[in-house]
């Protein structure tokens, strides 16, 4: 049976078990979108910009362990993917990016919204290809998914010209992959593993340096077992953080410019550096000539090109981190290095990274408070300074309830039954003077009863809740939401502070230093949290 290239594209996604597709339509990809219209089993996410799309696909891949998949049009659609593709490439995130392209007979003629997509991304992805023949489409897509998720994971781009999308061809999708010159390592050389462990056994000051490869391989459990079995202290890169619990007695901290004194000193003074799943970039090594200059270096990495590229190693092992660590667990022994571990941990204790010299609300206090408030967290940051202090201070702690609650103009009553909904209807500059706002349209609650406590907290049980601060403006239609909730919380025995800021609007706190009331509100928050 013959089907169009667009329908083969859809079939390929289904065969590769793609459940979520991040896609933004455009002219040269419209046939692909038409074919997706009634496709079963594929949930399409439509963003507002292609750059957001590719980062969303990246996040999906990181959080699920599946391949992130996205689809955009040619020209600006394709070029807007570049930053996300580069990010995925550096962080080894499996992505398959599909881009529309002008018809093959127009490629190279400066056609409307034509760019050399493959040429642009070739240096920042594992594989990039333009489909030139309909009969190659299924094979190329099959190869793309295989390349993206095997070996060192990374992004792959498949550029599909418009004429290929409408061309007819076989409906058969390949079941096997055979790519000449691409044979990812599936095992770990037993001789090299034993040689490395023998070197480790004779070490007096060994250190494990763990990178993102351990997390990508889902080898956290095995890595923790190896550290405990050998007793070797562990330092990590940023991508390697979490490879063993950060509160583990053998965990020293991050290395390099993102690290602490103890971690960097351990690297500088170790006699055997056992690295797993890191590429030794400049953020880790600093000046190469002085990096671990007294150590013999063992390096395990799935990417052969990463070994001895920046730092010359003594024992190279090309292998998946989990495979290698699992094999090491069979042969590894406990080392007599208690004095070395005590020395490193004493430095860690004596030279903690802290901001105790700073008053007021600091990043450290924010992170510590968040860790105390919540059990399971997903924290995202921007780069630069945010990356630095977050990686330095982030710790795993848990408490069943937050210590305190700060609520700024909370929407606690989705029935809109409080008196301020009428009294402030003409005063509220944000929600007032209209029945078309989210307050009245019912979209938030949907078909659910708006009196359900998990929709309208006002109708819930306040007993046993921690101290809470309510802030609200006197002009708000939501004024009674705070007043009534605060009253109910007090009746339930809670420690409650309610402050009504005169002549203020919804979330006036966002005015920061522009309004005296905003400054006063944030001072109140700081005082409340500091009690």
pLDDT score at 397: 36
pLDDT score at 356: 61
Residue 95 has pLDDT above 90, yes or no: yes
Residue 448 has pLDDT above 90, yes or no: no
Residue 450 has pLDDT above 70, yes or no: yes
182 within domain boundaries: no
Give kind and range of the element (H or E) at residue 117. helix 117-121
pLDDT category of residue 186 using cuts at 50, 70 and 90 = confident
Same domain, 412 and 299: no
Query: Among 400, 433, 466, which residue terminates a domain?
Result: 400
Residue 383, phi-psi category: left (phi > 0), alpha (psi -120 to 50), beta (remainder): beta
185 within domain boundaries: no
pLDDT score at 223: 96
What are the angstrom distances between the C-alpha of 210 and each of 240, 269, 390?
A: 6, 17, 19
pLDDT category of residue 395 using cuts at 50, 70 and 90 = very low
Same domain, 410 and 359: no
pLDDT score at 132: 96
176 within domain boundaries: no
pLDDT score at 392: 42
Beta strands in 454-502 (DSSP E): 468-473, 496-501
Number of domains in the chain: 4
Which region among 60-69, 165-174, 308-317, 335-344 has the lowest average model confidence (pLDDT)?
308-317
Same domain, 391 and 409: no
Query: Most confidently modeled of 275-284, 348-357, 363-372, 427-436?
Result: 275-284
Beta strands in 205-350 (DSSP E): 206-210, 234-236, 251-254, 272-276, 296-301, 315-318
Strand 496-501: give its sheet, edge to edge.
Answer: 405-408, 468-473, 496-501
Same domain, 292 and 372: no
233 within domain boundaries: yes
Q: What CATH number is attached to the domain comprising 217?
A: 3.40.50.1220
Mean pLDDT across 294-310? 88
Which region among 127-136, 268-277, 360-369, 397-406 has the lowest average model confidence (pLDDT)?
397-406
Kindly report, residue by residue over 323-354, the tens digit of the pLDDT. Answer: 999 999 999 999 999 999 999 999 988 887 76
Same domain, 205 and 331: yes
Containing domain of residue 472, as a range? 405-530
Mean pLDDT across 161-168? 96
Same domain, 368 and 254: no
Residue 377 has pLDDT above 70, yes or no: no
Residue 4 has pLDDT above 50, yes or no: yes
Query: Most confidently modeled of 95-99, 368-372, 420-424?
Result: 95-99
Same domain, 218 and 159: no
Query: Most confidently modeled of 128-142, 306-320, 444-458?
Result: 128-142
Kindly report, residue by residue over 146-158, the tens digit of the pLDDT. Answer: 999 998 999 999 9
Beta strands in 93-247 (DSSP E): 95-101, 127-130, 155-161, 168-170, 206-210, 234-236
Which residue from 224, 225, 135 is spatially nearest to 174, judged by alpha carbons? Answer: 135
Same domain, 74 and 205: no
105 within domain boundaries: yes
């Amino acid at each position: 049976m013959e089907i169009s290239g667009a329908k083969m594209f859809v079939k390929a996604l289904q065969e590769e078990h793609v459940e979520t597709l991040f896609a933004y339509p455009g002219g040269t990809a419209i046939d692909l979108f038409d074919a997706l219209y009634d496709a079963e089993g594929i949930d399409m996410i439509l963003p507002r910009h292609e750059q957001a799309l590719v980062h969303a696909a990246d996040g999906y891949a990181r959080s699920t362990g599946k391949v992130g998949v996205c689809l955009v049009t040619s020209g600006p659609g394709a070029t807007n993917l570049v930053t996300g593709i580069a990010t995925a490439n550096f962080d080894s995130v499996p992505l398959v990016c599909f881009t529309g392209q002008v018809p093959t007979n127009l490629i190279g003629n400066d056609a409307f919204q034509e760019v050399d997509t493959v040429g642009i991304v070739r240096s920042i992805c594992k594989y990039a290809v333009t489909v030139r023949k309909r009969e190659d489409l299924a094979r190329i897509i099959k190869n793309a998914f295989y390349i993206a998720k095997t070996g060192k994971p990374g992004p792959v781009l498949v550029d599909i010209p418009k004429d290929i999308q409408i061309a007819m061809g076989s409906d058969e999708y390949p079941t096997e992959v055979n790519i000449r010159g691409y044979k990812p390592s599936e095992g770990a050389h037993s001789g090299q593993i034993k040689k490395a462990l023998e070197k480790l056994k004779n070490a007096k000051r060994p250190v494990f340096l763990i990178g993102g490869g351990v997390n990508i391989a889902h080898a956290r459990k095995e890595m923790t077992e190896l550290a405990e079995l050998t007793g070797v202290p562990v330092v990590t890169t940023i991508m390697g953080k979490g490879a063993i619990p950060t509160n583990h007695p053998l965990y020293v901290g991050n290395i390099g410019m993102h690290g602490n004194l103890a971690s960097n000193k351990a690297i500088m003074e170790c006699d055997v550096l056992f690295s797993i799943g890191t590429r030794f970039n400049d953020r880790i090594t600093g000046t190469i000539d002085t990096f671990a200059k007294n150590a013999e270096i063992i390096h395990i990495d799935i990417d052969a090109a990463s070994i001895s590229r920046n730092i010359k190693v003594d024992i190279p092992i090309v292998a998946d981190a989990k495979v290698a660590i699992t094999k090491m667990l069979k042969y590894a022994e406990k080392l007599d290095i208690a004095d070395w571990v005590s020395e490193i941990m004493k430095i860690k204790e004596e030279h903690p990274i802290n901001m105790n010299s700073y008053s007021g609300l600091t990043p450290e206090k924010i992170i510590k408070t968040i860790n105390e408030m919540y059990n399971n967290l997903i924290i995202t940051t921007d780069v630069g300074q945010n990356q630095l202090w977050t990686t330095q201070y982030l710790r795993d702690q848990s408490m069943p309830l937050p210590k305190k609650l700060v609520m700024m103009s909370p929407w606690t009553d989705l029935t809109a039954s409080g008196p301020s909904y009428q009294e402030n209807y003409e005063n509220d500059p944000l929600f007032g003077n209209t029945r078309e706002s989210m307050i009245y349209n019912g979209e938030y609650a949907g078909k659910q009863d708006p009196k359900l406590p998990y929709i309208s907290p006002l109708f819930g049980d306040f007993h046993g809740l921690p101290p809470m601060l309510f802030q609200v403006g006197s002009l708000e239609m939501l004024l009674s939401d705070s007043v009534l909730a605060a009253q109910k919380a007090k009746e339930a025995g809670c420690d409650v502070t309610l402050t009504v800021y005169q002549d203020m609007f919804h979330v006036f706190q966002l005015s920061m230093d522009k309004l005296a009331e905003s400054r006063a509100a944030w001072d109140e928050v700081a005082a409340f949290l500091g009690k």
